A = this chain, B = another copy of it.
């Protein structure tokens, strides 16, 4: 028979058996079947033999339901809600869910108008709507960069001030932070953990890009620890040791000369000296191009874009 082929196809489409689903969700077989039978909580596809197969969407939904039930919601009350409202329930924010996000460009345009008019409440609303209308990945990798670069352009043209930008930054960062929080893996993922730590060097206060990277990694199912900006080398090394980090992801920005307190190269030397031998160093951000090439026994990798980071994760995952 070509059962083998079926299996390969299933794996390729990320569709998994019940047992695998149970591992991912932490639920019991009887319970999931009861939820399905009594409330129609999920409707997994079936093999010709009648066996259930769960796709990514079902697993995600079951994880959501399980988490909400743990939080005190009654399964009967939430099993019928669509995914988007489950997410809202978990987030605790009310969002006037507009049907579908028509176009990324439209969303950006609306946001820019609201920012220009300093209507922060409206910006907040639009961001919330966009965040729920698209996937975390779309939000973090497309909408946010596009929005911020447009704002940068408008500032260059003198049609907006940095005040607009800062106020917007605070709101956008807040939403990214929420996404990061909500992506928290419920149960240990299938693979053994590869812990990643995120920080920016001492004197580097902007953790915007770092947050984007962390969101991307969580989205890929990595076990991430956000340690924050402005992290002294020795403290970061200590944290890496305590946490047993497989890699430290360092977000390096470009600072105006008068703000440089610790030279990036010096910082890296100190970090390299203090960091545990096995911990890899992944460097990203606008500031990496200016770094001197160092020689070190340590596995060091420079990524030029978030896509490159994403690619690396996919490669690592495929190998395992």
Contact = CB atoms under 8 A, between A and B. Distances in A.
Interface residues of A, number: 74
Interface stretch (A169-177, A265-273, A281-289, A295-303): A169-177
A258 B259 contact: no
Contact of A9 (B79, B169, B235): B79
Given A177-B174, A239-B118, A239-B161, A16 B227 contact: no
B19 A72 contact: yes
B118 A243 contact: yes
A13 B85 contact: yes
A236 B165 CA distance: 11
What is the oligomeric copy number? 2
Contact of A226 (B164, B170, B184): B170
Interface in A64-105: 71-74, 76-81, 85, 88-89, 92-94
A9 B80 contact: yes
A313 B87 CA distance: 37
Contacts of A77: 9, 11, 15-17, 53
Contacts of A146: none
B120 A20 contact: no
Contact of A81 (B13, B174, B234, B239): B13
B166 A11 contact: no
A89 B13 CA distance: 9
A277 interface: no
Interface in A190-247: 199, 203, 205, 207, 225-232, 234-236, 238-239, 242-243
